[in-house]
Amino acid sequence: MADAKPTGLLEDAVVGAMLPTRGARGRLVRLTHVLDAILAPHNYPPVIEKLLADALALTALLGSLLKDEKGQITMQAQTESGVVDLLVCDYLAGQLRGHVKYDGDRLAEAGPAPTLFQLFGKGYLAITFDQPSRKERYQGIAPIEGEDIGEVAQSYFAQSEQIPSLVRVAAEKRDGHWVAGGLMFQHLPEGEEGRDRLHTKLDHPDWPHVAILAGSVKAGELTDPTLALDALLWRLFHEEDEVRLLASTALTKGCRCSPDYIKSVIARFPPEEQAHMVADDGFIRVDCAFCATSFPIAPAAPGAAPDGATDERGDDAV
Ligand SMILES: [Zn+2]
């Protein structure tokens, strides 16, 4: 690898990698400031912060696989009766957001380091890949099992998509700030990024070797804010004949909630119902579940007809 010098891939980025002679591609991600920005408004307990941090690292890894610039990945983990009712993350053009709904009392009972099973019980992870310019939209579903959400994704790729994969995510609070990292390597049968998959041999002789090297990564390396992603790649694969570093994408916090959209939702309620929603300050308060922004909406005047405007958007930002 000629360009092994750290190039500043220390924070809030996801970068691609290729091992051409092994027929494998990879992604490495690190989240620092963007994680603080997403987590801070929610005031989640540490267990939930870590869960969402892991999930956001995974979402960024999956998002970076999209070939469509306007493509979106949505990850939704839910249970019927778990401590965590719902976890949603999404990725659109380098923008990340996410939120968690959970039962605080039951979380406290689960202790400081609950297992994934304690959090989700019998839960499912739905991953939606949406690539509008390619007219592609599909959803994969995987049972939530294993050590962490990275393992759930790994099983999903191996079992549902028949792509041998290794996925690791980790998150840790260091000096009062969350850092998350992740790595994903996948066997590509044709050894070429972007080529349609025709056949995948699950027993490809090169894959176990790649999986062992990639799998040797430690959680502390994924979350080390002083270890650049390309330096980590080099550390794992320096004995390989060829390691290619691909383009990186900067990651930011992004939400698509808008006052106009929220107004249009509120306007569908009759004025009498709107009157019941008004808070002490005279406004209807609507909080965005993702970014926790609070929007004050003026209620309709009594006697006014409800706004008949229909809204075509399926966005669940609020
Ligand atoms: Zn928002």
Amino acid at 198: L
| pLDDT, position 7 | 47
Report pLDDT digits (tens) over 90-139: 999 999 999 999 999 999 999 999 999 999 999 999 999 999 988 989 99
CATH of domain 13-253: 3.55.30.10
| pLDDT, position 2 | 44
Provide the pLDDT confidence category of residue 307 given band limits of 50, 70 and 90.
low
| pLDDT, position 9 | 84
Report pLDDT digits (tens) over 224-269: 999 999 999 999 999 999 999 999 999 999 998 888 888 888 899 9
Report pLDDT digits (tens) over 51-75: 999 999 999 999 999 988 899 999 9
Domain 257-318 has CATH 3.90.1280.10: yes
Compute the 3-state secondary structure of the chain and give helix, strand, coil in percent, each to the nearest 5.
Answer: 30, 30, 40
Q: How far is the CA of 13 from the centre of ligand 1 (A)?
A: 21
Q: How far is the CA of 294 from the centre of ligand 1 (A)?
A: 9
Provide the 10 A C-beta neighbour count for residue 112.
8
| pLDDT, position 10 | 87
Can you tell me the distance from the alpha carbon of 92 to that of 72, in angstroms, rounded to the nearest whole number?
A: 5
Provide the residue ranges of all domains of the chain, joining segments of one domain with +. Answer: 13-253, 257-318
Non-local CB neighbours of 139 within 8 Å, separated by 6+ positions: 126, 127, 128, 129
Q: How far is the CA of 66 from the centre of ligand 1 (A)?
A: 23
| pLDDT, position 315 | 45
Can you tell me the distance from the alpha carbon of 181 to that of 170, in angstroms, rounded to the nearest whole number?
A: 5
Provide the pLDDT confidence category of residue 309 given band limits of 50, 70 and 90.
very low
Q: How far is the CA of 318 from the centre of ligand 1 (A)?
A: 7
Can you tell me the distance from the alpha carbon of 271 to that of 34, in angstroms, rounded to the nearest whole number?
A: 39
Q: How far is the CA of 245 from the centre of ligand 1 (A)?
A: 34
Q: How far is the CA of 98 from the centre of ligand 1 (A)?
A: 9
Report pLDDT digits (tens) over 198-233: 555 555 778 999 999 999 999 999 999 999 999 999
